Structure 1
Amino acid sequence: MPSTVIISQPQPMTEAQNTQHWTSGICDCWDDVPECCFAFWCCPCFACKTSKKYGEHLCLPLLYLFGVCVPAITMSMRVSMRQRYGIRGSMCNDCVCSTFCTGCVWCQMSREIRRRSVPIVLISANRT
């Protein structure tokens, strides 16, 4: 008598991906303390890591070191992220946050990338 094997995998639980708001606030550093500590102690390195995770050039944030206006790069990444994920906001708010809370903005963007990207896992089951 042939036997039938049924394999049922639990589906990953994810947050709503189509929200029109940031999934975390600008000062929600308690959501990921190690990451925020990294951003506090070495913001240029953290910004490079976040930029690469987002799909931009790794060295984009290093333009800070060559005298380019600091908030401009942070602001452009924040605006790009808002457009990609459909997050409501204004350029004025992006400018203020990027100017006065640069490290917090990079932390918020890193959390957003992590929460909005859902890994795809393929599992193969073979009979033995």
Structure 2
Amino acid sequence: MAVTMQPGRYEASEFQTGLCDFFNDCGICLLGAFCYPCLGCAIASDMNEFCLCGMGMSIRSVYRTKYNINGSLCDDFMMVMCCPMCAACQLKRDIDRRKQQGIF
């Protein structure tokens, strides 16, 4: 069978909120500040993963790849290692926004 169509190019996007846009959703910020493991479990649940996977670089990378968000494994590693709560809050905000938009 011959290939008649080449895969299309998709424009890369960005996360819908910045890393430090805490006040875009104060509930997520408070959850991250006072119960960081709970935030990780909420992210993992949204992504249909095991609870402890929500706080790591791998789930951020999987999400970024799934939604064609700019970045690299190195970026994900640095975000999670240097600003773990900020990275988790950003990811959860993006998941919630995509749910509202009907594209999650």
Distance 1:33 1:109 in 2: 14
Letter in 1 for 2:30: C
**Which stretches of structure 1, 4 residues or longer, exceed 3 Å deviation after superposition?**
none
Who is 2:18 aligned against? Answer: 25
- The structure 1 residue matched to 2:38, chosen from 32, 37, 45, is 45
Alignment map for 1:106-125 (pairs within 5 Å): 106-117=88-99, 118-119=101-102
What TM-score do you get using the length of structure 1 for normalisation?
Answer: 0.64
Matched, 1:54 2:36: no
How far the C-alpha of 1:91 sits from its partner, in A, is 1.4
What TM-score do you get using the length of structure 2 for normalisation?
Answer: 0.78
5+ residue gaps, structure 1: 1-17, 62-72, 120-128
5+ residue gaps, structure 2: 1-10
Q: Which entry has the higher C-alpha Rg, 1 or 2?
A: 1
* Higher relative helix content: 2
Distance 1:90 1:58 in 2: 24
Alignment map for 1:1-128 (pairs within 5 Å): 20-61=13-54, 74-117=56-99, 118-119=101-102
How far the C-alpha of 1:42 sits from its partner, in A, is 1.0
Contact 2:12 2:70 in 1 (8 A): no
Q: Percent identity over the alignment?
A: 31
Aligned residues: 92
Distance 1:98 1:44 in 2: 14
Letter in 2 for 1:85: Y
3-state secondary structure, aligned to 2:51: coil
